[in-house]
Structure 1
Amino acid sequence: MARTLTALALALVTTAATVVTEATPAAAAGATLTVDVSRPFRPVTHAATGGLYGLAENNRPADSTLLPLRVNSLTQPAPGVGQRPNGQPPGGDSLLIAPQADRVGAGQYIRMPDIYPDFPYRWVSWNDWLAKVDTMVRARLAATTVTNVLAWELWNEPDYTWNTSAAGPFNEGWVRTYRAVRALDPLTPIVGPSTATYSRSWMQSFLTHARDTGTLPDIICWHELQNPDRIAADIADYRNLEASLGISPRRLSINEYAAPSEVDVPGRIASYVAKLERGGVESAHRAFWYEYGTMNGLVTGNSQPTGTWWLYKWYGDMAGNMVTTTTTSSGLDGFAAYDPTRKVVNVVFGNESGTNTVNLTGIGALGSSVRVTLLSTPSSGRFTAVSAPTVVSTTTRQVSDGRLSVSVPDMVATSAYQLLVEPVSGVPAYQQRYEAENASVFRAQRLTSSSASGGGYVGRIDNSGTPRTDSYVDFVVNVPSARTYTLTIGYANATGATATQGLAYNGGPWTTVSYPPTPSWGQFGATVSTTVSLRAGYNVIRLAKGSPYFSGGTGYAELDYIELT
């Protein structure tokens, strides 16, 4: 969040909200988190791994600290940024950081009012603002190798920063700005209204006016900066409001979350991520309170991981589907995923002290005996590096009727914990299969099919021709050694003719993948194979219908998974 802490306090007072001043919950110990592996609710997309002003222009933080997190998306300042957050020099220009964001598979929203230096923004005039809008959009259109722009964010926190006396009502200002952007760029989605808090009356007024003027945002956004317990009710209220106004369901983003007292506290962040995942948001970004170049405190100034980084690393390691978690406590909460290919259950939780319990159900596929590993990561703050999480215990446990109960003693409320449950016989030495629906998906669509590996796939990869419509899928993979791997791609192609896509990895040269026809769309089983020479550790593999320096594929193909062997 581009503001000082004093400004935050003023903003929250004006919205009559209660600020969370302590990260440690007051709930009593002895709570239970239940993880039902038999109830998946959506693919793993790492939706909440994002940041406001997460990247600085000089490739900070290092790619090596970002790739393990599978960064979903970012909100970055406008081209020609003037914003000086917390008194720092302007930084994070969306077009200048685009190459690094691209290298790690992250999309970005462009925050347009950050062309101004001050926060709250100082309004000049409509002529000044519209001239700036024109300059920003034209700069983006001229950047023909930038393809990871997800949306224009027309304004930021209008319930706090909009100068009604000088600029007129915000709803009318939204329409003028929307139409100015659309006159130049009819293709890039628009996100808003990006309010500081969720207010039903404020949102109803905005949506009604936007509906009636044909200026509804493609992505609805607001901020959750005070208390994660508000998230579920706010999202449910928004969905009810949307339906009552006859508005088709919009994509949702919470592109700032967590207060200053929370953002560097892993236990508290576990609660935020759990509730954001349950709410079905497309993206969520850590709020900006301090310095550029640290991914909002996930790494130190010299790119060393903090305690909170490890929570997001555990999140980044998730694959397959998010599965249902429920809690008996107002404190203890967590999120979990199940990878059916490796038979790995990955649970991340925290925000409670004392001895608590994680109950797992629906894990019969792992066998009658499982290996249970419990790790923890502390609240180290943003300046103290944590070289590795602490291994609390490794045990072998028996599963009864697909159930297992794990007691977690001596929890610290500010710490986060990871519970890994795997077959006692072990899992592959490295992840070999990567589901397309878990990857970074640009201008295509995640879909479901009973014949797809893991139940999901990516289809409608059907745009090409401009950096605003090119469709591609980025797989962030992790391999144990530098060598040549066989890359197998599961796909469907019902065009009746061979289709093609571009293949590149780590920004290298393009080759072409050919997909012979298959009987029908959404029916999988067919594969094609090629080879890729990867470096040890993390790599980004791109399959594209269109992308910079690739002239474009032919026909259409749906992607089920890739496999590296």
Structure 2
Amino acid sequence: MPRIGQRRSTTRRLLHGITRTLIPLTVIAGVTTGTVTPASAATPTLTVDLGTTTGALHYGASGALYGLYGPDIPTNNLIEGMGLQTTNTKAQDGQQHPGSDALEVAKPFVDSGGKDIMIYMTDVYRTFSYERADYAAYQAAMKTQVEQAMASPYKDRIVFVPYNEPDGMWFQGMRTQAGPLAAFNSEWRQTYDFIKGIWPQARLAGPNTSSYTESSLKGFLTYCKANNCLPDVVTWHTLGSPAEVRSTVDNYRAAETSVGIPSHLPINLNEYAHRYHLTDPGQMVQWISAIEDKKIDGNLPYWNINGNLGDSAAAQNTPNAQWWLYNWYTSMSGDTVKVTGAENDAAYTLQGLASLDTDKKQARVILAGGGTSGDSNTVIKNIDPTVFGSSVHVSVFQDRYSGYLGAAATPTRLSDTDVSVGSDGSVTIPITLDAMSAYEIIVSPGGTGSSTASDSTWTATYEAENANLSGSDHNINTEGTPSNVGGFATSGRQDVGGLRTGSDTVIGFPVTVPTTGDYKVSVFANSYRKDAQVKGPTNVYMRVDGGASKRVDLPVGFQWVVWGHSDATVHLTAGSHTISLATTGDNGAATDGDAIVDKIDLQYQDSSVQGTTVHEAEQASLSDNGTTSYTSQGQSGAGAVNLTSGKSATFWVYSERDGYADLTARYRNTGQAGLTVNGRTVNDQTLAGATAGAWSTSANRVYLNAGINKVRATGAGGTLTLDRLAVTPFSPTNAVTTGNVVTYQAENGTLTGTAAADTTYSQANGGVVTGIGNGTANALTLNVNAPEAGTYAMTMRYANAEELPSKHYNPDLMAEHADVRVNGGDATRVNFASTLHWNQFNDYTVPVTLAKGANTVRFTSSQLYNYDGTTIGLVYSGGGSDIGQPMRSSSAPHLDQVSFAPASLHIGASTGFSSTAVAQHSGLCLEDPAKSTADGTQYEQNTCGSGQEQRFDFHPVSGATDTYTIVNHSSGKCLDISAYSTANGAAVQQWTCHGDTNQRFTLKPVTALGNSQDYQLVAVNSGKCVDVSNISTASGAKIHQWPCDSASTLSTKKNQIWRLLGKS
């Protein structure tokens, strides 16, 4: 199998009768090398043994300390899509940090599939040293917590953690000294008996030390076994090296046995990993694989901010690359299988985990280099032919590092092809690893499907520290490394500072690109919100070869080295260029702020590849394991899914921004299914198969939220065979967007009380409304006109930098909230995560119901209360300047603008179908020759076969009778009249779908041969017919347009009659 690497240009070759993608260039850290030679014996190899299962998937690595702030922070989509199993969080109404109150996060956590909520009881206190006056005072606090939990509807999910890192707090030295350990053991027993005395069914976890020490854990177990106070869950923290996980768990299990504990207690490493590992998929695989291998639980740590799923969320509903890694992990099904890594349990090496689901007929592998890059092989052996057949369909995806606060789009499908299984029952998948990426391999039965389009567009990374630096005020900084795991993950481990107010620094990146065209430049950068020079995102100026400047605003983070990315588009000719970032722009423009830069990523933009994201149904999350089908039926990808009543397929759909997209489903058979988006039923088009054999398509145009959207197809009767879901977004300037989204500037609304317009925010679109809060008198009211009654997406552009003063290493950021009333109805609470700076704005979308015509939408905010609903929670201990400060906000965020758009748009009834097109004069089929993916490929007729290059989806054109766009299965491109020509003989070709008149064809029925499936294909732009040139009967004859034949001529020439066997 050709080596699979990062995205780059593609060529093709034929192997074993199957077209396979060949990736001829390897680009790592901005260095381009030639075609990879066959792997040597020294190539790091991951071996996956499908013949040796190691137990049911546990999913225990998906947990997070302080991962939830409260309702919608993060959204349920992010929680569920990450498959979060456990969360450890603060005591209800505790002072340790704002938000993350145990009984307030319980509902969104459980609603999203979560299992156990571990309450850090010590976090009732304000400081990390836990300033208890004495044990009696702490007992009183614990009593309140237990009684609150007993009254909660989620009490069965609660686990109490009475001590957090006691070896560093109240019992220093207990891991190595007998006296402190004895004191801890005695108090643990007292606490255990106290809590069980109030609630006998309560579950407790401990000892929860800062790291694992055999002697102290063994002493603790010995004491607790003798005194009947063993914890229900054993916990400790593993924060340094992933290599510690397996060995310490094995050591602990031996200790259990040695002290006579008859059965294993559950283990939760309820804080694992450090800043150097977090957000880097290339590092985090080794943690996940070790935790899953030992079938224990673990929680990502809280080194930074709460409410972001242990550093997995870039924003309130937006994933970073780490989120996608956990989505892959918790999307596995069946059993884990034996995996042998390049160096087994050594840290920072090739590691992975794998699963086998024989019911689903699917194996999955997740792997990464642990911070290393270069060639690797994944050998999958003992492939059961009774499950997979003699060939397998292999899909390979890449999850590229996106930074801490950088949005990560759907992982890239690098390759999708059939591979013959060797005589020894194995296949080898070569992948060129990027150091900060993770990779997923999905293996399914082969030989019956087709290749899903992959994205191999050219991309490269250029490190700032390797760029040409000029000016007198720049510096190179070294960040996280294996020997400095407290430092943040950074590409190349270094970055460049100096783009600041008054500086003359220029960072020049020499780049070489293979193709003339548009390129996306992603600048990975960071400004610190508390730096005196930072007034919001830091503006810098990008130039290509010293040309005109383009302003790029670099994101603000809660700390230095918290990377996000800002994206810009540049046009480059093939060859070498310099892309520079500077503090001065054209016409006297200058930087206001201070930023550091990690790297730039450069990617060629090809709308034919990147314009639509295809989600294969057999690779979706299936309820009850779903029912996959791998019979040959002209499907996209390896197979399809049979949906019967109540069975569902869930797709986690990413959207770059809040806005419209077409969700196009492809399906067959006579069953029905419903479609929901973020829990709301999409009513425009249901999925209803028309006939038993033909493929149909239906498109629903819906408003997606920026970030993750949960799209679910659920069977509603009969059996519907679902093939795929294709997602095509509309740009902000597209007529679909501009014609349906109406934006209201906040300052133009009605302001009452302290609500006021402020025009001093440079990142705002005009004025910003501040002062909404502290009661309903201080309000903003918008008068909103709706063309129709129904559900609308309300997108609010806001800023929130409210914060509680803190002495922690964690910033105590606070969520704000607005109570929204439409037409005077009941208030709906909307919670807003921090944007980290008052001059940095985010968008957040919620649904609202509007009446036709005039509506009022009113925003207010009031002080939030403790769990009892009457007490204002204040800081009352810790001795800091924050004594007396409320722990919850009383304010709405600053509002810039509010947009309204119908949640879905009607685009016409579905009459789409899938078919071949057989020329009746020759009996040959319309074909994309050689399975070309190139724009401008002229179509031919060729001997009819079963290949996807001869199959087409006919998508109905809204408002036009019997008119369709015609999409080739193999290329994904549209039948097209070259250059909108009206001339006789103009080529009928394929081109990236855009839906203009030269890609629309009217089906004109032909009765000359007495078959109801015969049609002329009439081009809308020219009025001429799709015609086989020169009435040729030869294979390879070209297809062009020609004046349409009359009925009498058709019966003799027949070269314009196309039999569409899939149209009923």
Tell me, yes or no, if structure 1 residue 382 matches structure 2 residue 422. Answer: no
Query: After the TM superposition, which residues 477-516 of structure 1 pair with which residues of structure 2 at under 5 Å, given as runs?
Result: 478=650
1:39 to 35, 52, 57: 52
| Rounded Cα–Cα distance in structure 2 between residues aligned with 1:224 and 1:39 | 29
Q: CA deviation at 1:395?
A: 2.6
1:298 to 289, 307, 312: 312
Q: CA deviation at 1:367?
A: 1.3
Write out per-residue CA displacement over residues 383-436 of structure 1, whole angstroms, 9 at most, x where no aligned residue.
100112122222321102321111112x12221111111112358645545269
Tell me, yes or no, if structure 1 residue 149 matches structure 2 residue 157. Answer: yes
Q: Counterpart of 1:342? A: 360
Q: Which residue identity is paired with 1:478?
A: T
Q: Counterpart of 1:285? A: 299
Structure 2: stretches of 5+ with no match in the other structure: 1-40, 173-178, 450-615, 627-646, 652-662, 666-670, 681-708, 715-1064
| Rounded Cα–Cα distance in structure 2 between residues aligned with 1:416 and 1:48 | 16
Tell me, yes or no, if structure 1 residue 71 matches structure 2 residue 99. Answer: no
2:138 aligned counterpart, secondary structure: helix
| Rounded Cα–Cα distance in structure 1 between residues aligned with 2:617 and 2:409 | 25
Tell me, yes or no, if structure 1 residue 58 matches structure 2 residue 105. Answer: no
Tell me, yes or no, if structure 1 residue 265 matches structure 2 residue 288. Answer: no
Q: CA deviation at 1:166?
A: 11
Q: Which residue identity is paired with 1:353?
A: S
Q: How many correspondences in the alignment?
A: 424
Q: Counterpart of 2:144? A: 135
Say if 1:322 and 1:336, in contact at 8 Å, map to a contact too: yes
2:122 to 113, 132, 137: 113
1:360 to 370, 380, 383: 380
2:160 aligned counterpart, secondary structure: strand
| Rounded Cα–Cα distance in structure 1 between residues aligned with 2:53 and 2:76 | 31
Cα separation, partners in 2 of 1:194 and 1:435, compared to 1, 3 Å: farther
1:382 aligned counterpart, secondary structure: coil
| Rounded Cα–Cα distance in structure 1 between residues aligned with 2:231 and 2:363 | 37
1:125 to 107, 131, 134: 134
2:55 aligned counterpart, secondary structure: strand
Q: Counterpart of 1:561? A: none
Q: Which residue identity is paired with 2:49?
A: D
1:300 aligned counterpart, secondary structure: strand
Write out per-residue CA displacement over residues 509-528 of structure 1, whole angstroms, 9 at most, x where no aligned residue.
xxxxxxxxxxxxxxxxxxxx
Say if 1:342 and 1:428, in contact at 8 Å, map to a contact too: no
Say if 2:58 and 2:292, in contact at 8 Å, map to a contact too: no
Instruction: Tell me the TM-score normalised to structure 1 length.
Output: 0.70
Say if 1:29 and 1:354, in contact at 8 Å, map to a contact too: no
Farther off after superposition, 285-294 or 129-138: 285-294
Structure richer in helix, relative to its length? 1
Q: Counterpart of 1:227? A: 241
Q: Counterpart of 2:257? A: 243
Q: CA deviation at 1:297?
A: 1.6
2:425 aligned counterpart, secondary structure: coil
Q: Which residue identity is paired with 2:168?
A: Y
| Rounded Cα–Cα distance in structure 2 between residues aligned with 1:539 and 1:204 | 51
Write out per-residue CA displacement over residues 46-74 of structure 1, whole angstroms, 9 at most, x where no aligned residue.
21111011111132111112222221111
Write out per-residue CA displacement over residues 213-236 of structure 1, whole angstroms, 9 at most, x where no aligned residue.
110111111111100101111011
Q: Counterpart of 2:170? A: 162
2:319 aligned counterpart, secondary structure: coil
1:169 aligned counterpart, secondary structure: helix
Q: Counterpart of 2:226? A: 212
Q: Which residue identity is paired with 1:294?
A: N
| Rounded Cα–Cα distance in structure 2 between residues aligned with 1:41 and 1:217 | 27
Write out per-residue CA displacement over residues 252-306 of structure 1, whole angstroms, 9 at most, x where no aligned residue.
111111011111111111000111111121x211111111221122111232111
1:322 aligned counterpart, secondary structure: strand
2:50 aligned counterpart, secondary structure: strand
| Rounded Cα–Cα distance in structure 1 between residues aligned with 2:712 and 2:309 | 19
Tell me, yes or no, if structure 1 residue 394 matches structure 2 residue 394. Answer: no
| Rounded Cα–Cα distance in structure 2 between residues aligned with 1:235 and 1:431 | 31
Q: Counterpart of 1:448? A: none
Q: CA deviation at 1:168?
A: 8.4
Q: Counterpart of 1:417? A: 439
| Rounded Cα–Cα distance in structure 1 between residues aligned with 2:292 and 2:192 | 29
1:252 to 267, 280, 283: 267
Q: Which residue identity is paired with 2:224?
A: A
Q: Which residue identity is paired with 2:266?
A: R
Q: CA deviation at 1:163?
A: 4.3
Q: CA deviation at 1:146?
A: 1.6
Say if 2:79 and 2:109, in contact at 8 Å, map to a contact too: no
| Rounded Cα–Cα distance in structure 2 between residues aligned with 1:263 and 1:477 | 30
| Rounded Cα–Cα distance in structure 2 between residues aligned with 1:207 and 1:170 | 12
Cα separation, partners in 2 of 1:166 and 1:312, compared to 1, 3 Å: closer
Q: Counterpart of 1:325? A: 339
1:122 aligned counterpart, secondary structure: coil
Write out per-residue CA displacement over residues 67-121 of structure 1, whole angstroms, 9 at most, x where no aligned residue.
222211111111122113xxxxx22011011110111010211111111111122
Write out per-residue CA displacement over residues 160-215 of structure 1, whole angstroms, 9 at most, x where no aligned residue.
12246999821111111111110111112211111111000111221122122110
| Rounded Cα–Cα distance in structure 1 between residues aligned with 2:672 and 2:367 | 37
| Rounded Cα–Cα distance in structure 2 between residues aligned with 1:420 and 1:166 | 51
Farther off after superposition, 147-156 or 167-176: 167-176
Q: Which residue identity is paired with 2:419?
A: R
Say if 1:98 and 1:148, in contact at 8 Å, map to a contact too: no
Q: CA deviation at 1:484?
A: 7.6
| Rounded Cα–Cα distance in structure 1 between residues aligned with 2:710 and 2:170 | 49
| Rounded Cα–Cα distance in structure 2 between residues aligned with 1:476 and 1:423 | 21
The structure 1 segments of at least 4 consecutive aligned residues displaced by more than 4 Å after TM superposition are 163-168, 426-433, 483-486
| Rounded Cα–Cα distance in structure 1 between residues aligned with 2:182 and 2:375 | 55
| Rounded Cα–Cα distance in structure 2 between residues aligned with 1:102 and 1:538 | 19
Q: Counterpart of 2:206? A: 192
Q: Counterpart of 2:847? A: none
Q: CA deviation at 1:317?
A: 1.4
Instruction: Tell me the TM-score normalised to structure 2 length.
Output: 0.38
Say if 2:75 and 2:317, in contact at 8 Å, map to a contact too: yes
Over the residues paired in the alignment, what is the CA RMSD in angstroms?
3.1
1:135 aligned counterpart, secondary structure: helix
Say if 2:67 and 2:308, in contact at 8 Å, map to a contact too: yes
Q: Which residue identity is paired with 1:355?
A: D
Q: Which residue identity is paired with 1:64?
A: N
| Rounded Cα–Cα distance in structure 2 between residues aligned with 1:39 and 1:353 | 28
1:132 aligned counterpart, secondary structure: helix
2:310 aligned counterpart, secondary structure: coil
Query: After the TM superposition, which residues 12-23 of structure 1 pair with which residues of structure 2 at under 5 Å, given as runs?
Result: none
2:711 to 528, 533, 537: 537
| Rounded Cα–Cα distance in structure 2 between residues aligned with 1:324 and 1:354 | 24
Cα separation, partners in 2 of 1:423 and 1:207, compared to 1, 3 Å: same
Write out per-residue CA displacement over residues 131-167 of structure 1, whole angstroms, 9 at most, x where no aligned residue.
0011110111122x22452411121111212246999
| Rounded Cα–Cα distance in structure 2 between residues aligned with 1:233 and 1:120 | 30
Q: CA deviation at 1:375?
A: 1.3
| Rounded Cα–Cα distance in structure 2 between residues aligned with 1:267 and 1:314 | 14
Q: CA deviation at 1:126?
A: 1.1
Q: Counterpart of 2:861? A: none
| Rounded Cα–Cα distance in structure 1 between residues aligned with 2:710 and 2:169 | 47
Cα separation, partners in 2 of 1:167 and 1:316, compared to 1, 3 Å: closer
| Rounded Cα–Cα distance in structure 2 between residues aligned with 1:262 and 1:415 | 12
| Rounded Cα–Cα distance in structure 2 between residues aligned with 1:389 and 1:435 | 23
